[in-house]
Amino acid sequence: MGEAPVFYVENLKDRFSNGFNLRFKGFETSIDVGDKTFVIGSSNNDSISSIEVQIYDKSRGKWVIPTVLGTEPKRYEGHSAILLNEDRIMVITWGSTPDDCIWFLEVDTEYVKQQKKASGTEVVAWSKGVRGDADKPVVISGPSGVGKGTLINMLMKEFPTMFGFSVSHTTRAPRSMEKNGVHYHFTERSIMEKDIKDGKFLEFASVHGNLYGTSIEAVEAVADSGKRCILDIDVQGAKSVRASSLDAAFIFISPPSMAKLEERLHLRGTETEEQIQKRLRNAKAEIEQGKSSGIFDHILCNDHLEKCYDDLKKLLGLDGTTSTNPKPSSKGINLPSKHAVSKINSKILIKSETPGSGNPSKNSIVLDVSLLKGGAPSRTRGLNVYAVDPNPFSDSLNGIHKLS
């Protein structure tokens, strides 16, 4: 069954020819969501062009400038926009690189609703689209010394192209073998506190007397590399991530006994006796919470390391029953710079607006958004992009033949 293509992009200048004082100097699009019109426009200041958002509240007849969360798209020549699921606007920037051209402005997702409630203001949030099928992040938690880091290192060594580590920030001093930017971003408390206040952290917690936290940027960096993100965080952090809109798998590692945990901390030799005792006191509460709070999807006991590692791999589908070959990549496909966008079901057709510009496979692209995962406050994953051979007799996607 063919359906009429839906093209929501309208030019505000045609629609509101007078009366509204938009501060955009260049290109803008407007999208209606319920009783609000979201106007996305370029504001040019000499060399830099970035995207800004204004909302027209039709029921109140008022313009609102929302709080904009997340990193917004940079430098573009123009953009197309289309509404998805009544809660996010897909923005395709013109002339950006393949890795940087698909963005989502979330206007009514769970995350945005939470932020609106918390701030009492109008909020929208940017999330960059990442091509491909990277699986959801994995949160690994458990008491200090249980072996989280050891298990994660084994995983990253065996599957280097599959997993990426979310490098946390901490105010604790580096251990002798630890490198800044690799094991942690070692930082001063005042700087970290300011960044937390500025909304740069997905979660943070005071752990054993120091501040630890996962920046949104750390998780985004892994998603951008196309890898599955692994977070090594304490139980309080896991609880915060669980309450956030980051869709993740939560695994708790428990020790075989407190005596074994103490022995491991002593053998590791990275803390003073006083610090070890503090970590052991905290461990009791963490184990209780880990096992009973319902935060975690899975609990693994790290008694014998190899056995625990095998169990972890099974949980992650890496026990040989699932292919670990890299999934086909759509990373290299360029979107036509100036284009028209239409939507049928979960497929967005992008057609070049530059006539006679050569190979049709370069001009017509389909974005399949049926498997979107994640979103603000991190990346939106699961975007599949392919070139198509458009049927010249039909504007509907029924006539499209996949090329790649």
Ligand X SMILES: Nc1ncnc2c1ncn2[C@@H]1O[C@H](COP(=O)(O)OP(=O)(O)OP(=O)(O)O)[C@@H](O)[C@H]1O
Ligand Y SMILES: Nc1nc2c(ncn2[C@@H]2O[C@H](COP(=O)(O)O)[C@@H](O)[C@H]2O)c(=O)[nH]1
Catalytic residues: 175, 268, 279
How far apart CA 43 and CA 61 sit, in angstroms, is 23
Site for ligand Y contains 237 (CB under 6 A): yes
For ligand X, which is the closer residue by CB, 283 or 348? 283
Bond preceding residue 326 cis, omega within 30 of 0:
no
The size of the interface with ligand Y (CB under 6 A), counted in residues, is: 15
Near ligand Y by CB under 6 A: residue from 207, 216, 246, 350: 207
Site for ligand X contains 145 (CB under 6 A): yes
Nearest approach in angstroms of CB 220 to ligand X is 23
Which residues are CB-neighbours of 394 under 8 A, at least 6 positions away? 2
Which residues are CB-neighbours of 346 under 8 A, at least 6 positions away? 368, 369, 370
Q: Which stretch binds ligand X (CB under 6 A): 26-34, 94-102, 148-156, 282-290?
A: 148-156
Determine the length of the chain. Answer: 404
- Give me the residue label for tokens 């590399």: 225
Selection from ligand X, ligand Y, none that 233 binds (CB < 5 to 8 A by kind) is ligand Y
Nearest approach in angstroms of CB 305 to ligand X is 4
Site for ligand Y contains 234 (CB under 6 A): yes
Near ligand X by CB under 6 A: residue from 116, 183, 242, 264: 264
Half-sphere exposure for 293 (CA within 13 Å, toward CB)? 18
Selection from ligand Y, ligand X, none that 236 binds (CB < 5 to 8 A by kind) is ligand Y
Which residues are CB-neighbours of 301 under 8 A, at least 6 positions away? 253, 254, 255, 256, 308
For residue 27 the two structure tokens come to: 């290109």
Selection from ligand Y, ligand X, none that 49 binds (CB < 5 to 8 A by kind) is none
Near ligand Y by CB under 6 A: residue from 196, 205, 221, 403: 205
Site for ligand Y contains 220 (CB under 6 A): no
Site for ligand Y contains 236 (CB under 6 A): yes
For ligand X, which is the closer residue by CB, 116 or 268? 268
- Give me the residue label for tokens 């049927």: 391
Site for ligand Y contains 137 (CB under 6 A): no
Near ligand X by CB under 6 A: residue from 185, 268, 278, 298: 268
How far apart CA 30 and CA 313 sit, in angstroms, is 47
CB contact at 8 A, 382 and 90: no
Site for ligand Y contains 212 (CB under 6 A): yes
Q: Which stretch binds ligand Y (CB under 6 A): 18-26, 119-127, 207-215, 393-401?
A: 207-215
Q: Which residue stretches of 159-249 are H helix?
A: 189-197, 216-224, 235-243
Site for ligand X contains 302 (CB under 6 A): yes
Site for ligand Y contains 213 (CB under 6 A): yes
Which residues are CB-neighbours of 309 under 8 A, at least 6 positions away? 151, 154, 155
- Give me the residue label for tokens 């803390």: 271
Nearest approach in angstroms of CB 335 to ligand Y is 35
For ligand X, which is the closer residue by CB, 32 or 158? 158
Site residues for ligand Y, 138-157, by CB under 6 A, read 144, 148
Selection from ligand Y, ligand X, none that 150 binds (CB < 5 to 8 A by kind) is ligand X
CB contact at 8 A, 91 and 107: no
Site for ligand Y contains 298 (CB under 6 A): no
Site for ligand Y contains 233 (CB under 6 A): yes
For ligand Y, which is the closer residue by CB, 8 or 186? 186
CB contact at 8 A, 96 and 86: no
How far apart CA 204 and CA 194 sit, in angstroms, is 12
| Nearest in space to 27 (alpha carbons), one of 45, 44, 8 | 44
Nearest approach in angstroms of CB 286 to ligand Y is 8
| Nearest in space to 163 (alpha carbons), one of 260, 232, 72 | 232
For residue 190 the two structure tokens come to: 């005042």
Site for ligand X contains 144 (CB under 6 A): yes
Taking the alpha carbons at both ends of the chain, their separation in whole angstroms is 24
Residue ranges in contact with ligand Y by CB under 6 A: 144, 148, 168, 172, 203, 205, 207, 212-214, 232-234, 236-237
